[in-house]
Amino acid sequence: MNTLSVLQQWSRERAALSATLAPRAVAIALDKRRSISGIRWRGELVVTAAEALAGSDEVLLASERGEQRATLVACDLATDVAVLRIEGGDAAAGPVISEASAPTAAALEAGAGVVIVGRTRRGPVVGFGTVRAAGPAWRSRRGGEIAQRLEFEAALDGRFEGAVVADLSAAVQAMLVPGPRGSLLGIPAPTIERIVAAVEQHGYLPRPYLGLRLQPLWLDEATRGRWGRTGRSIAAVAGVEPGSPAEAAALAPGDLLEAIDGVAIDSVEGLVAQLAPSDPGRVLELRLRRGGAPQTVKVTVGEWRAPRR
């Protein structure tokens, strides 16, 4: 009777876990030498790190099905999620993606173990790590609403950008993206799912648009006191695009933006954060200060369209 030592079992389970997740991971060739990873999410849709694509819209993708072309469907810099569609592929063909690796909305806890599976054109690459920090939902500076703050500790390189981050039961928890100062962050599965679901519904990612240009202004203490504001700065309207929802609502340069739907705004980022989750068609109530006097205007959020020429 051969009995496995604890270490042998540990090693076999790690290899089995990696093998379960490998069909989810794809390699995305950026050029002849460099590649990043991506996650087969559902059907022909693959997600990867938006920033790393650097404006590419047609990439060569390698998976256990071999090499295929994929085209960009949506690129959301706010959450760093890009969605690609595999061209001419049969969704049913190729390696079976294990049910165990279905994305989960269950939150990770600090200290939990994770497995990170990416791919190069030569095959899967695997790293094991730990959840270094797990915090509440947050907004990126660009206004992206991200379901959970996730930071990992693991020894990884650039090939893992966009890789699968799974818990030790093989459920996909997040996509790996680089953070500030060399940190490793995770974009949680529910955030990715929200974007993929919007792409499936519309065929693209609709973007809210107001047509406002803003600039931050510092408020002196006396003005803050008079206006009953706590923030040191306020967002001033610097311009209104012709034909935009902001123009329809008669917003004008010099208007100072105080609140949206009752949420105090004190910076340009504040508006970005409020606008980001708005669907085109939603009506926002803007509280302004115009010529020193408070006013309220309603603006119907538009949808961003490429300028015609």
Partner 1 sequence: MAGAPALTDLAVGDGATITDMVNPTVQRHSARLTPREREVLALVAAGISNKGIARALQVSPNTVKFHIAALLEKLDAATRAGAVVAALRRGELSL
Q: Which residues bind partner 1 (CB under 8 A)?
A: 50-51, 53-58, 72, 74-78, 80, 82, 140-142, 205, 207, 209-220, 223, 226, 233, 236, 238-239, 241, 244, 253-254, 256, 267-269, 271-272, 275, 289-293, 304, 306-307, 309
CB of 215 to partner 1, least distance (A): 4
CB of 152 to partner 1, least distance (A): 20
Of 104, 82, 197, 194, the closest CA to residue 150 belongs to 104
Q: Which is nearer to partner 1, 80 or 167 (CB)?
A: 80
CB of 108 to partner 1, least distance (A): 24
Which long-range contacts (C-beta less than 8 Å, at least 24 apart) are formed by 250-257?
Answer: 250/297, 251/212, 251/286, 251/288, 251/297, 251/299, 252/290, 254/290, 254/291, 255/288, 255/289, 255/290, 256/217, 256/288, 256/289, 256/290, 257/214, 257/286, 257/287, 257/288
Q: Residue 252 in 3-state DSSP?
A: coil
Q: Which is nearer to partner 1, 17 or 286 (CB)?
A: 286
CB of 221 to partner 1, least distance (A): 12
Angle at 187 between CA 182 and CA 191, to 5 degrees: 160
Q: Which is nearer to partner 1, 6 or 306 (CB)?
A: 306
Of 59, 67, 66, the closest CA to residue 84 belongs to 59
Q: Which is nearer to partner 1, 14 or 194 (CB)?
A: 194
CB of 13 to partner 1, least distance (A): 38
Q: Which is nearer to partner 1, 170 or 265 (CB)?
A: 265
